[in-house]
Chains A and B, each alone.
Chain A
């Protein structure tokens, strides 16, 4: 699965590593719903770190679309909400 870290680039993540990412993703989602900027930052950084740790960086000239995309490390919670649409994360 190709994961894009916005502002950084794309990484290839093995299927076996996705479960851990999904868990952290869930924590990020909960942090956004709670509206706690501190929790959000911790969760976002934890998720980004995990992707960087298990992922293999793809060459810049690769044109493959990503299966998963993550906001930049310095994005604020409001920015991420805006990226996801005004409604936030509620609808599936």
Chain B
């Protein structure tokens, strides 16, 4: 049998089973309306849940993007101070984040799509529920058993189909949202524990190395140059010669110094 017909039959049989449970058609209408209101509430909660997960993902994407930018900056700085090895390390780590970010962005798109679909479904169901309320009151007011039964069956079947459709959409969105929440939660934990930071490195070993290079590398060279300049560039070798001489004479003086004290001490 065809897919289209078979799906329609499954929906109809579900609606019929629900209808068969009711004795008084007017009760059926009221009960059904209550169910629709509950369903509408569920749809709204579904939309809110999906929106929350989407926002959480958005925050995490922003955080990862910041870390990615930081690694790019670190790579540039490393190259500027001639540390290609560090630059390579920074870019390698950024590559690891690229994959994660790509995955998160795809999930974000998916959640955004679910949110849009659920919002539409919610609006559609709202319109149906409003229209059902009006129709049920009309049927109840002009109630004659035979006529009402037909009208109720038709209205009930249509709205039950809609509820089945929307219900399935929420169920699917909920499954996807749970999945996203779990992933988002895992990344939250990683960010909170600092594991991801260590990995991506806002204040990691690359930064530490860059700081060290920045502070002691060119800094020391500059200081050395300044010292050399103060002492006179050409005389640098002489200084080296002179220094031992001075040290020797100082040592001699130091050795000599105690001598006059020795007789004093001896006395």
Contact = CB atoms under 8 A, between A and B. Distances in A.
A62 B158 contact: yes
A65 B154 CA distance: 7
B1 interface: yes
Interface in B168-199: 168-169, 172
A3 B131 contact: no
A35 interface: no
A9 to B, nearest CB: 6
Given A60-B124, A63-B131, A80 B165 contact: no
The size class of the interface chain A forms with chain B is: 35 or more
Interface of B is mostly: helix
Contact of A7 (B7, B12, B135, B169): B169
Contacts of B108: none
A22 B11 contact: no
Contacts of A22: 2
B3 A70 contact: yes
A37 to B, nearest CB: 15
B83 interface: no
B154 A83 contact: no
A47 to B, nearest CB: 8
Contacts of A64: 154, 158
A85 B10 contact: yes
B122 to A, nearest CB: 11
Interface string A11-52: 000000000011001101100100000000000000100000
Contacts of A60: 123-124, 127-128
A25 B128 contact: no
Contact of B165 (A3, A7, A47): A7
Given A63-B155, A83-B10, A89-B6, 18 more contacts: A6-B168, A6-B169, A7-B165, A61-B131, A62-B158, A63-B159, A63-B162, A64-B154, A66-B8, A66-B161, A68-B4, A68-B5, A69-B4, A69-B11, A79-B172, A83-B7, A84-B6, A85-B10
19 contacts: A3-B4, A4-B165, A6-B169, A7-B121, A25-B4, A28-B3, A60-B124, A60-B128, A61-B128, A61-B131, A63-B154, A65-B11, A66-B8, A80-B3, A84-B3, A84-B6, A84-B10, A89-B3, A92-B1
